[in-house]
Chain A
Amino acid sequence: MILNPEKECMPREELRKLQSQLLVKQVKRVYENVECYRNRMDAAGIKPEDIHGIEDLSKLPFSYKRDLRDYYPYGLFAVPMKDIVRVHASSGTTGKRIVVGYTRNDLDMWAECVARMMTAVGLGAEDIVQVSYGYGLFTGGLGAHQGAEKLGATVIPMSSGNTALQIQTMVDFGATAICCTPSYALYLGEEAERLGVTNQLKLKAGIFGAEPWTEEMRAQIEAKLGIKAYDIYGLSEILGPGVACECECQAGMHVWEDHFIPEIIDPDTGEVLPEGSTGELVFTTITKEGFPVIRYRTRDICSLNYEPCACGRTHVRMRKPTGRSDDMLIIRGVNVFPSQIEEVLLNVSHNDITPNYQIIVDRVNNTDTFDVNVEMSEQLFADDVKSIEAIEKTITEKLRSTLGIGAKVHLVNPKSIQRSEGKAKRVIDKRKL
Chain B
Amino acid sequence: MIIKQISVFVENKKGRLAAITDILAENDVDISALSLADTSDFGILRLIVDKPDVAQEALTKAGVTVKITDVIAVVMDDVPGGVAQALKVVSDNDISIEYMYACVGKTTGKALMVIRTEDTNRAEKILCENGFGKVNPAYIYRI
Contacts and interface: CB of A to CB of B under 8 A. Distances in A.
Interface string A357-387: 0000000000000000000111001111100
Given A385-B37, A388-B42, A414 B64 contact: yes
A415 interface: yes
Given A382-B67, A385-B39, A412 B46 contact: no
Contact of A389 (B9, B39, B63): B39
Interface of A: 376-378, 381-385, 388-389, 392, 410-416
Interface of B: 5, 7, 9-11, 13, 16, 37, 39, 41-42, 44, 46, 63-67, 69, 98-99, 116
A378 B41 CA distance: 18
Contacts of B10: 413
Contacts, number: 55
Given A381-B9, A383-B116, A410 B69 contact: no
Tell me what chain A mostly uses at the interface: helix, strand, loop, or mixed: loop
B60 to A, nearest CB: 8
A413 B16 contact: yes
Instruction: Give 4 closest A-B pairs by Cβ, nearest first.
Output: A383-B7, A413-B11, A415-B63, A383-B69
A383 B44 contact: yes
A382 B65 CA distance: 10
A392 B16 CA distance: 20
A109 B61 CA distance: 63
A286 to B, nearest CB: 52
Nearest to A375: B65
A112 B66 CA distance: 62
Contacts of B99: 384
Given A376-B65, A378-B67, A414-B65, A384 B44 contact: yes
Contacts of A376: 9, 11, 42, 65
Contacts of A389: 39
Contact of B65 (A378, A384, A385): A378
20 contacts: A376-B9, A376-B42, A378-B66, A378-B67, A381-B9, A383-B7, A383-B69, A384-B44, A385-B37, A385-B39, A389-B39, A392-B41, A410-B41, A411-B9, A411-B11, A412-B11, A413-B9, A413-B10, A413-B64, A415-B63
